Amino acid sequence: MASCRAVPSVLLVTSRLNVSRVFLRNLQNPKPFRISNRLMSSMDQQRVLVLGSGYVSEPVVEYLTRENNTHITLVSAVKTEAETLADKYQNTQAVILDVQQQQQDLEKLVKDNHLVISLLPYTLHPLVAEMCIRQKTNMVTASYKTPAMAQLHNSAVEAGITVMNEVGLDPGIDHCLAMECFDRVKAEGGKITSFVSWAGGLPAPECADNPLGYKFSWSPRGVLLNTLSQAKYLQDGQVVSIPAGGSLLESTRAMDLHPDFDLEGFPNRDSTIYSEPYGIQTAQTLLRGTLRYKGYSSACIGLQKVGLINTGNHPFLAPQAPTLSWRDVLCTLLDVETDVNDEALRAAILDKVGGEEYRLKVIEKLGLLSSEPVDKQTTPLDTLSNYLAKKLAYGAGERDMVLLIHLIEVERSDGSRVQEKVSLLQYGDPRGYSAMAKTVGYPAAIASRMVLNGDIQEKGMLVPFQKTVYQPILDRLKKENVQADYSIEQL
């Protein structure tokens, strides 16, 4: 999401409601916050509060407003973004506010709606969920059910509300496709002996034209920080643990998953926690991993080793510090004089990255040895993220791609063994939705429609593991041309 706005006001912008366009509240001379009755939808409408107006939000709004009785209030801190989106769809209005700084205002909006869809950063979901619990308003998110969300389960049950989590792509569609297979296999008397799942959001191959083979539609910070994460998975009955701090990418393996793509993958988070909720305690291998184009991991290891993926504050990167070039930053991080000659600097970098010429070339091709002035952001990670967000952004007419593959080994009731492969490949439309927006936004919208219509009755903090939830999501996704291919191979 965008950074907090400094303007001390709240602007309500209406769309397609034939009413006044602007209602302004000055926070320095506050008055009770309310939405004019003229701006509110009629009481017989389903009222939905969508938090966030980023690229995922449009498929959500578009899907829900297909039904005339649904009224959307879109909350964002980015005025032009929210207004543009609200103006495109019927029964949609935008409210401009900062959800962290104006929590009382936000809670009044929560109270006035039947459902809240939070497309905010996952760290803000507990804040929103607590409001939903107090106001007895249902909620949907596309993010993981974190421990902070899970601990609100009993409170949500007592409030009588449904909070459906993990209805995006990963997590989301991956769960639905996996559970569909698991439940069918068990119903036929078989058992799951191995589950390996790989997923990645990538540039389409023709657009993967930079040293990382990766592009960004949002801040790269989370993607880069993830390279320092820990991971855990089950391999042939043994738990494999990878410590945090940079070891994750050392476990990267080549992936022969699709004939059209040269891929690699590495483990994602703690896969072992899914054994019980998936109901596949018979699986001796359980791994969920992240896909990238080949070379990504080695490139990021190089960035780690020269100190660029580092969250520590550095005085020389303070905004008020003297102007620096990227070459100066590398010299400082490597503790060499800034007037060192190019050959000596390259030698120092090569030594630092383990003698890997490829990693040195990546650093050069990214412009990190140039004399270009640096927009300093206090930490190496934030400074690099800010730079790559612009340098590796999608260009006009470029498209992204989503690839999700489940490899499920099954022992059938007759003792035979097979591997079932479930593959989902989606390309973005440069004139429409990106693949990521579509595969995150539509599942969230479908789950939201199910909650609004009473198709999901269970209360508390939920995930889409029940057939009554995942099957309608998959069926309705097919109508949006989001569907998987299936194949079976004898083992």
Using omega within 30 degrees of 0 as the cis cutoff, is the peptide bond preceding 171 cis? Answer: yes
Using an 8 Å Cβ cutoff, are 73 and 113 in contact? Answer: yes
Is 270 known to be catalytic?
no
Core vs surface per residue 10-28: b (16+ CB within 10 A) or e? bbbbbbebeeeeebebeee
Q: CA-to-CA distance for 185 and 298, rounded, in angstroms?
A: 38
CA dihedral 371, 376, 380, 383 (to 10 degrees): -90
Of the candidates 24, 167, 40, which has an alpha carbon nearest to the alpha carbon of residue 108? Answer: 40
For tokens 């299936």, the residue is: 486
Looking only at the bridges linking them, the beta strands covering 285-293 and 191-203 are parallel
Q: How far apart are CA 460 and CA 132, in angstroms?
A: 11
Rg (CA), the chain: 24
Q: Would you mind telling me the total number of residues written for the chain in this entry?
A: 491
End-to-end CA distance of the chain: 46
Which of 98, 170, 174, 400 is catalytic? The answer is 170
Residue 338: how many other CB atoms lie within 10 Å = 13
Question: What is the set of active-site residues?
Answer: 170
